[in-house]
Structure 1
Amino acid sequence: MTEKPVLDSRAKVIIAACEMIGENPASTLSVRTVAARAGVSMGSLRHHFPTQRALRDAVLRTIYDVATSDDEVIYDRSVAPRERLVHCLRQILAPQVGDEARRAWTTVFDAFIATEPTDETRAAYLTMAAEGTRRMEHWLTVLDEEGALVPGDVRQHANFLNAVVNGVSIERALPTETSVLERETATLYQAVDAVLRAVDQ
């Protein structure tokens, strides 16, 4: 019988915090709550994550790395840049469809839009948005180094694609017709075409 691996306190904290974000994407990750859920002391948590910001950053990096674990595709030059980038965008969208998408956007709306944001919720949102931009910039930088990207600011291209992905994910949460996948695919390709050189598509 194979024994389960023993997790160190850092891994326990990351797992507990990721579970909390999975249950509530707007969670501010209270250090006390995360420590209790992870079954570690506050001192142990603070040893690995001296600030709440450090904890949030690590958790969001972990979530994005898992959600977009098929990262090698962006380096696969046997596949056209256009196909690689659309594949990466689909990785962001993949986790939420239908009721899941609606619940996720309802939670985000309640936490960040419906009520006046506190410093804590503002920081949580900005951290989440920054991590999404970091991931998008990574993909675009790889393509830029190949000469596949339209000349310009990588960050502006990333912001544009993030806005498109957000819009598509909101559409997934709304009542829609059965041809949503076809429309979504066309939208993603059109967005990708706007940031890639035509010769490489």
Structure 2
Amino acid sequence: MAHSTRDKILIAAATMLGEDPTARLSVRAVAARAGVSTGSLRHFFPTQRELVDTVVAGIHDIDLPEDPMRDSAGTPAERLVACLRLMVSQVGTGDRARAHWRAQHDAYIAAPPSEDAVHAYLALERLGVHRLVTWLTVLREEGALAPGDLERHARFLLTVLSGLLTERALPGDRARLEFEAGTLATAAAAVLRPAAPA
């Protein structure tokens, strides 16, 4: 199936973000990746912000092929932990985790980020919150979620994930992954209703 020019641009930009969430979606870089001219890209997306917003909005609507929240065999806690693990696994461990952390540092911490970089970061943060809110909504509908604001729960979980991703970039041993599993279970328990006694 042939893709339209607009679709080629969006696919290229989404792929770049998938490979590196800190990727600068510059007009030149995305146009080159999509195999289109910068003029064509500007026709569909006059600004970098419009491109970022459209890509992130499109990712919002993508269903994960193996969404752990759909595993009806698991308890709410097991499913939520599996969802959190999925988010952490996208960064990996060792050199891959260090490369991710370094890219985050270089893009947003080492020097004051540009307005476009801030906009891109906030759009990606909203994407993470949206994904977690989607999962938490399922748990709320099942009566498994503790009372409270969905976004507040989601941001708490993202804060825990940020800490674990930083740890993955630092020197450590295999015992750290066992600690990570316990941390994810504790974080999930903090936003879920206590399980009814059997």
C-alpha distance 109-120 of structure 1, shift in aligned 2 (>3 A):
same
Tell me the residue number matched to 1:189: 185
**Does 2:7 align with 1:11?**
yes
Equivalence map 1:26-175=2 (5 Å): 26-42=22-38, 44-46=40-42, 48-49=44-45, 51-60=47-56, 68-71=64-67, 73-95=68-90, 96-175=92-171
C-alpha distance 23-194 of structure 1, shift in aligned 2 (>3 A):
closer
**1:76-120 deviation digits (Å, cap 9, x = unpaired):** 333211011111111111122110010011010011011012211
The offset of 1:14, in angstroms, is: 2.6
**1:63-84 deviation digits (Å, cap 9, x = unpaired):** 677795422x313333211011
Name the amino acid aligned to 2:177: L
Larger mean CA deviation between 165-174 and 13-22 belongs to 13-22
* Structure 2 segments unaligned to the other structure (5+ residues): none
| TM-score, length-scaled by structure 1 | 0.85
CA contact (8 A) 1:17 1:34 kept: yes
C-alpha distance 52-93 of structure 1, shift in aligned 2 (>3 A):
same
Separation in structure 1 between the aligned mates of residue 63 and residue 158 of structure 2, nearest angstrom:
15
Separation in structure 1 between the aligned mates of residue 156 and residue 105 of structure 2, nearest angstrom:
21
Larger mean CA deviation between 106-115 and 58-67 belongs to 58-67
Question: How large is the RMSD of aligned CA atoms in angstroms?
Answer: 2.5
**Does 2:172 align with 1:176?**
yes
CA contact (8 A) 1:68 1:88 kept: no
Separation in structure 1 between the aligned mates of residue 42 and residue 141 of structure 2, nearest angstrom:
39
C-alpha distance 129-200 of structure 1, shift in aligned 2 (>3 A):
farther
Equivalent residue of 1:199, what SS?
coil
Equivalent residue of 2:195, what SS?
helix
Equivalent residue of 1:144, what SS?
helix
**Does 2:195 align with 1:199?**
yes
Question: Number of paired residues?
Answer: 196
Name the amino acid aligned to 2:131: R
C-alpha distance 183-160 of structure 1, shift in aligned 2 (>3 A):
same
